[in-house]
Each structure stands twice: as structure tokens, then as C-alpha cells.
Chain A
Amino acid sequence: MSTKHEKEPLFSARNRKLISNPLGMENPITVQVLGICSALAVTAKLKPAFVMAVSVTVVTMFSNLIISAMRNSIPPRIRIIVQLVVIASLVIVVDQVLKAYVYDVSRQLSVFVGLIITNCILMGRLEAFAMSNKPWPSFLDGLGNGLGYGLILIILGFTRELFGSGAIWGYSIVPQALFDFGYKNNGFFILPPMALIIVGIIIWIQRSRNPELVED
């Protein structure tokens, strides 16, 4: 039966869309409004924002893959718990391996690894996509959503570090002459409320350019 069915290429147009859509029209943060909490917490500097973006992308990809492979055996009544167990064990194993083999990286990540478990993008994508799709598209969906999340995180981290600390990736780039002239770093940018304001501005710009995103 399946031999007659033509096999879909690995990167068909439909599969490519799974990666590109979450970057814009279906962005997890600005459109699906998932993962806001960590986007506020870890974006005071660019570097932790980048690390968090990479970690979340890796975990969404693999939890989507595993859940999708298990999807036909999971009893619907306990599916949320099953999903949670998969995410949590994946994160714990990754954390333990990092601590054992790349201790420096693990110190860099510090609290992020634990925070990944609480990111609603993970459960959101498992429920919305992986539970009803095949493993490979689910894997790509995880990749796309991780990248869409990462994109917003990096915009936030960049803006907040530039205006809040006058630096990018820890290197000061605002010239001393400007400070002598009376310029000051804006301390408000370091605090989480400013991240919320920037997310709001991004949503505003995105919706004013794409009227179909605007609800009545």
C-alpha cells in the first residue's frame, strides 16, 4: 500500500514552510504569545539570550521528534503528563551530560537548562503539532519554532544590552566621548518591564504591516 504512495521529499515546499512560518506569520512569541516569561527574564544581555535560544531550539526539536514517534500509543487522557515527562527527562539528561563532559558550557547555561522545562513553546508545539503529525515534519516544526523564538530573543537582547549597558556581547561599543558629552545608559532597559515594552512594539509593527493578523 505504502509503496504506491509517492514519498514526500525531505525538504518539500510544505516542510520548508514549517521552518519559515514561525519566523514571521506564526512567530511563537509575537503571534502565538508563548514563551513570554523567559523572553523577559534572560534578555538583559545578548549572550544569555543567544544561549537560551539555542538550548530551546534543540529541546523543541527533539521533544517534538520523540512525542511524534510515540503519538499513536499515548492514551489521550494522560497525554499532557506523558509530554511533560519526556521534556523533563530530556532536559535533565542533557544537563547531566553537560555537567560531566563540558563543565564550562554547563556553568554558562546555569539556570537556563532548568528554565527550558517551563517554556510553554515546548508543550504548545507538542499539543498543536507533534501529537498529530509524523516525526520528520514535527522535527522541522520544532526547529522553526525554536528559531522564531530565538529571533525575538536576539532582537530583545541586542536592544536591551545596547541601551542598558552600552555594550554588545559584553564588549563596550558606545564611545567614551558620548558619555563625556552627557549620554547615560538607560537603567530601565536592564529591567524586565522594558522587554515587555519592546515585545509590544515588535507586535505593533508586525500587525500594522500584516492586517490579517489583527483580530476584531
Chain B
Amino acid sequence: MYSNAYILRYAAIMVILVAAILSSAAMLLKPLQDRNEAVDKMQSILIAAGFENVNSSNAIEMFNDNVTQMIVIDQDGNLIDEYTDDAKENSMAFKLNLKEELYNKSLNKPYKLPLYIAERNDKHIYIIPLHGVGLWGALWGNIALKDDFITVVGVTFGHKSETPGLGAEIETPIFEDQFPGKVIFDETGKFTSIQVVKGGVASLPADLQKHKVDAISGGTITSNGVNDMLQNVLESYVTYFKSQE
């Protein structure tokens, strides 16, 4: 039979040991993890903009070569920072915490937004990072627009913990390949975003099809999350786009 003192000692030592192991593992590995996250972000931006053969080993180099300008705008579409140097990851636009800025937006406080400008085949491509919520956690991604600020070149999505096989399908080509060629404004210049809808886009009239993509079966809440994320982020850039035309 074990005494109470033994049990308390046992529990205390175990907890301290485990805490020490876990916190040192977290601290030692943090720099490597941050590095991986930054590389992953660059990869995802490049893929959205349509660059091919991007992998984790060449992402930094390709990013610095092809993304020519990193800018930050405020809520009224005014330019507040512009970065064109080589090490793009040091720019304000790359480091900006989008989640915080969108939170400020929801509180009607002033906020800042990043915009990445890449050059491919002598054309500018404008890449907008996205942030939103799905069913279980955060969603994020990038949407790349042509230099007309209307037509989508490509998208990439990512998620923290959506259900595999259902909501998590948003990061597969089946879902992402629906976006290129869609437009975010209608003929009259009104902002429409890209809507993620149930029930089959193919059966809708052609003038509606170009603003909509099919949702994921069994992933309704994640699909709605993508829809709201696109709406919420893209609408914040409308003033800036209008000022550039």
C-alpha cells in the first residue's frame, strides 16, 4: 500500500518532469517551427499566383525573385508601407498579423492590410492573404487576382483542424481548381465576392456562375466559413482596387 505522502511526491515529481520536458521541447523547436511556417506561407502565396514546381526547398528563393513588391494599406485604401528589398520576409506586409487586423475591423477600429505583388510573364499578379474561421478552428489562404483586380488567377486554402474527408477537402485541388477565372465584381462594378454555394453551380445561369463555386458535401460549416472569409477580407480591399483603376 502506498502512503499519501508517496502519492503526492510521485505526482509532484511527475508533473515537474513532464513540464520541464515539454517546455524545453517547445522552446528548442520553436525557431525551426517558425521557419517552416514562414516557408509554408511563401509556398502557398506562390502556388496561388500560379507558379509551378514550388517546394519547401526553393520557396524562399522563388519568393524573393518573383514577388516584387510587398505593400500595406489602411482601411481607406491608402498606401502606408512599401517594401521592395530582397529579403521579403522582413517586410511589414509579411509580418502583419492578419487575425488581429481583422479583429480590429470587426470592432470598427482602424486596421491595416497586406498585399503582395508578384510578376509572372511580365504581368502583375496581386495576392491577398485570407483569414477566417471554419468548424473547429482557423481557416486561412491566399487569393491571387489579375492586374484588372477582378479576375481570380488561383487560390490556396489551409486550415487548423477541419474534419478530414469533409471540411478538410477545401485544401484539395477538387475545391481550389474551381476558382481560377471567377470574377469578384459584376458588370456594373458592384462587389460580389466569390460565393460558396450548395446545390450545383452548373445548373445556374451563366452570369451568376462566374461569381460562385460549389461547396463541399458534408462540409457545410467549413464551406460557409470560406464564403464569409472571402467576403470579409476582399471587401476591405475594394476601395484600394477602385483607386488603382
Chain A contacts to B: CB under 8 angstroms: 41-45, 48, 73-78, 81-82, 85, 89, 92-93, 96-97, 99-101, 103-104, 107, 110-112, 114, 187, 190-191
Smallest CB gap from A170: residue in B: B172
Bound-state CA distance A78–B9 (Å) is: 12
Q: Is the CB of A48 within 8 A of B161?
A: no
Q: Is the CB of B165 within 8 A of A99?
A: no
Q: Is the CB of B25 within 8 A of A77?
A: no
* 10 pairs, A vs B, C-beta closer than 8 Å: A44-B218, A48-B164, A76-B2, A77-B7, A82-B14, A93-B22, A96-B26, A99-B29, A111-B136, A187-B218
Contacting residues, chain B, for A42 (C-beta < 8 A): 164-165
Contacting residues, chain B, for A99 (C-beta < 8 A): 29, 33, 36
- B18 CB → nearest A CB, Å: 5
Known contacts A93-B21, A191-B218; is-contact A81 B33 (Cβ 8 Å) = no
Bound-state CA distance A93–B6 (Å) is: 28
Secondary structure at the A interface, as helix, strand, loop or mixed, is helix
Query: Which residues in chain B, 168-216, are within 8 Å of chain A measured between CB atoms?
Result: 168
Bound-state CA distance A191–B219 (Å) is: 10
Q: B11: CB under 8 A from chain A?
A: yes
Q: A42-B165, A76-B2, A110-B164 are in contact. List 19 more A-B contacts (CB 8 A).
A: A41-B164, A42-B164, A43-B165, A44-B218, A45-B164, A74-B10, A75-B7, A77-B2, A81-B11, A82-B10, A89-B21, A93-B22, A93-B25, A110-B160, A114-B161, A187-B217, A190-B166, A190-B218, A191-B218
The bracket for how many chain B residues form the interface is 20 to 34
- A68 CB → nearest B CB, Å: 16
Query: Which residues in chain B, 1-43, are within 8 Å of chain A measured between CB atoms?
Result: 2, 6-7, 10-11, 14-15, 18, 21-22, 25-26, 29, 32-33, 36-37, 39-40
Bound-state CA distance A76–B29 (Å) is: 35
With beta carbons under 8 angstroms apart, the residue of A75, A81, A96 that contacts B25 is A96
With beta carbons under 8 angstroms apart, the residue of A44, A110, A187, A191 that contacts B161 is A110
Bound-state CA distance A85–B10 (Å) is: 13
Bound-state CA distance A81–B12 (Å) is: 12
With beta carbons under 8 angstroms apart, the residue of B22, B56, B162, B166 that contacts A89 is B22
Q: Is the CB of A41 within 8 A of B2?
A: no
Q: Is the CB of A85 within 8 A of B18?
A: yes
Bound-state CA distance A99–B14 (Å) is: 25
Bound-state CA distance A197–B8 (Å) is: 46
Contacting residues, chain B, for A44 (C-beta < 8 A): 164-166, 218
Bound-state CA distance A49–B31 (Å) is: 31
Smallest CB gap from A165: residue in B: B165
Bound-state CA distance A54–B95 (Å) is: 36
Smallest CB gap from A164: residue in B: B165
Q: Is the CB of B168 within 8 A of A110?
A: yes
- A79 CB → nearest B CB, Å: 10
Contacting residues, chain B, for A110 (C-beta < 8 A): 159-162, 164, 168
Q: Is the CB of B163 within 8 A of A41?
A: yes
With beta carbons under 8 angstroms apart, the residue of B6, B29, B160, B165 that contacts A45 is B165
Contacting residues, chain A, for B218 (C-beta < 8 A): 44, 187, 190-191
Q: Is the CB of B22 within 8 A of A111?
A: no
Contacting residues, chain A, for B160 (C-beta < 8 A): 110
Bound-state CA distance A103–B18 (Å) is: 24
Smallest CB gap from B28: residue in A: A100
Smallest CB gap from B18: residue in A: A89
Known contacts A85-B14, A190-B217, A190-B218; is-contact A97 B165 (Cβ 8 Å) = no
Bound-state CA distance A97–B6 (Å) is: 33
Q: Is the CB of A92 within 8 A of B22?
A: yes
Bound-state CA distance A107–B44 (Å) is: 13
Contacting residues, chain A, for B10 (C-beta < 8 A): 73-75, 78, 82
